[in-house]
Structure 1
Amino acid sequence: MNYENAGNVLPEQLLKEIKKYAAGKLLYIPLDNEKKAWGEVSGYRHFLVRRNQFILNKFVHGIGIRELATEFHLSEETIKRIVYSRKDTSKLDYHPTSKSAMKYLEAGMLEEWLHTYLLFDRCNKVFSDGLRLMYRYYLGPLIMPLSLFKRSSGPEDHMKWQIQQDVFEDKVKYWMNQIDSQAETPPLIVNFEKGRLELNCNNPLLEALKRSQVNEHPIIIWITDLPDHDRFLEEYAGYQ
């Protein structure tokens, strides 16, 4: 049997999906009348683990059984089995911290951590829904120097998103107190597009870190296009 480079055979979007489960692996794709290979089954099982974790996170944050059943097109009994099961050892606790994000990363569920954070700690459903409209690459948390990043919101006239001076300063003071007390903090969330880094979330935290003379911090990078993904890996290889 001859082997071919998947990049020469598969559409780009399909190749992106396969890379999530089997990047660098040698796969055999059966004919329609053949039994499904284990690689296909295990990939689906991981999808279910990710879905169930997100369902659990939403339930813990107050989303009801009926609403979850409607959103995920499952029966209420199935939702109850997911959220109440004590046998599932793959479930993770969620916390709005970089350490928690790292645990989700290690379990292959960084995207589930990110959307939980955006929905329930940032209360930014619009941002979360926007990210879910199409496939994104998520990298991190990466420890990166804060000198690479600038705020995109604040009270200054030139900021992309304006925020009142007193509101902004209150948020900065909160984060500075957290930093001074050595409390755990969340990662910054940054978009990389066409060679440019743009801070999307936690601008007051970035300001607090810089005022507290913190030089580096965990960052989650989200990227839309494959060329930008490859460019980021090339330009910032030292932080991976």
Structure 2
Amino acid sequence: MNYENAGDVLPEKLLQEVKKYAAGKLLYVPQDNHKKAWGEVSGHRQVLVRRNQLILNKFLHGTPICELSKEYFLSEETLKRIVYSKKDTNKLDYHPTTKSAKAYSEAGMLEEWVHTYVLFGRRNKGFSEGLRLMDRCYLGPHVMPLTLFSRSSGPESGMKWRVDREYFEQKVIRWTKRIQVGEDTPPLIVNYAQGKLELNCGNPLLEALNRVGVSEYPVIIWVTELADYEQCLEDYAMHV
């Protein structure tokens, strides 16, 4: 009988409980007598696929195996199998582009794209950690009119987050040049709650888009409440 590493199969919390009683031991887990319902196993497998994708993305962006081991409570041997495996056909290439975000969305891993982009494209670990504090639903990328959005940060007085004028202008100029040469730039990231949209990530990009005269642009929207999720789909005629 073949065996699998428990770190590849069990959820992190359950794995820690098993280790208390049988760390280092070879266990046999008998099957239930009743037939499992469809999705009972495959659903968890998808969770592992998504976890492994984010682990791979972090590794490829320079996060050491030892740090990943502490973060995910997995042995270094297990992590090496995840990041070096050539048999896993579920792995996706990551790029900070709308095209890449769409590919992740189609694979059911839009959240993993968002975290990778926020961590390594925007270098905003605090925002990523905040997003992971609770379950959220991610929609998109959907092309939406830019008139729906306004900046939440900038050098102007009254902004929710005030930043240095010269620093902000430099970022706007860089985005403007990339837009003008036709680069595939990343989507904006927006929160929808209680009927309101708030731009979380991409304020200099939004300013550049407005200056260039772009009227519509891809957007990723995240929500935390089921009612907001349903209302967002209805308000903006979105399809999932």
Q: Which TM class, normalised by the smaller chain length?
A: 0.7 to 0.9
Partner of 1:26: none
Q: CA–CA distance in 2 between the matches of 1:42 and 1:232?
A: 29
Q: 1:239 to 1:165 in 2, by over 3 A?
A: farther
Partner of 1:142: 142
Kindly provide the CA deviation profile for residues 23-49 of structure 1, in whole angstroms up to 9, marking residues without a partner as x.
Answer: xxxxxxxxx762433411111111111
Is the CA contact (8 Å cut-off) linking 1:143 and 1:239 kept in structure 2?
Answer: no
Partner of 1:24: none
Report the AA paired with residue 153 of structure 1: S
Task: Name stretches of at least 5 consecutive residues in structure 1 with no aligned partner.
Answer: 1-31
Determine whether 1:171 maps to 2:171.
Answer: yes
Partner of 2:8: none
SS in 1 for 2:213: coil
Q: CA–CA distance in 2 between the matches of 1:156 and 1:239?
A: 36
Task: Name stretches of at least 5 consecutive residues in structure 2 with no aligned partner.
Answer: 1-31
Q: CA–CA distance in 1 between the matches of 2:63 and 2:165?
A: 34
Kindly provide the CA deviation profile for residues 77-98 of structure 1, in whole angstroms up to 9, marking residues without a partner as x.
Answer: 1100000011111100000111
SS in 2 for 1:120: helix
Alpha-carbon shift at residue 238 of structure 1 (Å): 5.4
Kindly provide the CA deviation profile for residues 164-202 of structure 1, in whole angstroms up to 9, marking residues without a partner as x.
Answer: 111111111000000011111010000111111110111
Report the AA paired with residue 127 of structure 1: F
Determine whether 1:212 maps to 2:212.
Answer: yes
Partner of 1:41: 41
Partner of 1:17: none
Q: CA–CA distance in 2 between the matches of 1:33 and 1:233?
A: 42
Kindly provide the CA deviation profile for residues 185-222 of structure 1, in whole angstroms up to 9, marking residues without a partner as x.
Answer: 01000011111111011100000001000011110001
Partner of 2:191: 191
Q: 1:171 to 1:50 in 2, by over 3 A?
A: same
The root-mean-square deviation of aligned C-alpha atoms, in Å, is 1.3
Report the AA paired with residue 233 of structure 1: L
Report the AA paired with residue 79 of structure 2: I
Partner of 2:62: 62
Q: 1:209 to 1:225 in 2, by over 3 A?
A: same
Q: 1:160 to 1:239 in 2, by over 3 A?
A: farther
Q: CA–CA distance in 1 between the matches of 2:186 and 2:70?
A: 30
Alpha-carbon shift at residue 69 of structure 1 (Å): 1.4
SS in 2 for 1:55: helix
Partner of 1:222: 222
Determine whether 1:234 maps to 2:238.
Answer: no
Using structure 2 for the length normalisation, give the TM-score: 0.84
Is the CA contact (8 Å cut-off) linking 1:142 and 1:239 kept in structure 2?
Answer: no
Q: CA–CA distance in 2 between the matches of 1:170 and 1:41?
A: 50
Q: CA–CA distance in 1 between the matches of 2:234 and 2:36?
A: 37
Partner of 1:104: 104
How many residues get paired? 209
Report the AA paired with residue 192 of structure 1: Y
Q: CA–CA distance in 2 between the matches of 1:179 and 1:198?
A: 23
Q: CA–CA distance in 1 between the matches of 2:238 and 2:55?
A: 35
* 4+ aligned runs moved over 2 Å, structure 1: 32-38
Q: CA–CA distance in 1 between the matches of 2:51 and 2:238?
A: 32
Using structure 1 for the length normalisation, give the TM-score: 0.84
Q: CA–CA distance in 1 between the matches of 2:77 and 2:162?
A: 46
Is the CA contact (8 Å cut-off) linking 1:119 and 1:128 kept in structure 2?
Answer: yes
Is the CA contact (8 Å cut-off) linking 2:233 and 2:239 kept in structure 1?
Answer: no
Is the CA contact (8 Å cut-off) linking 1:144 and 1:239 kept in structure 2?
Answer: no
Report the AA paired with residue 87 of structure 2: K
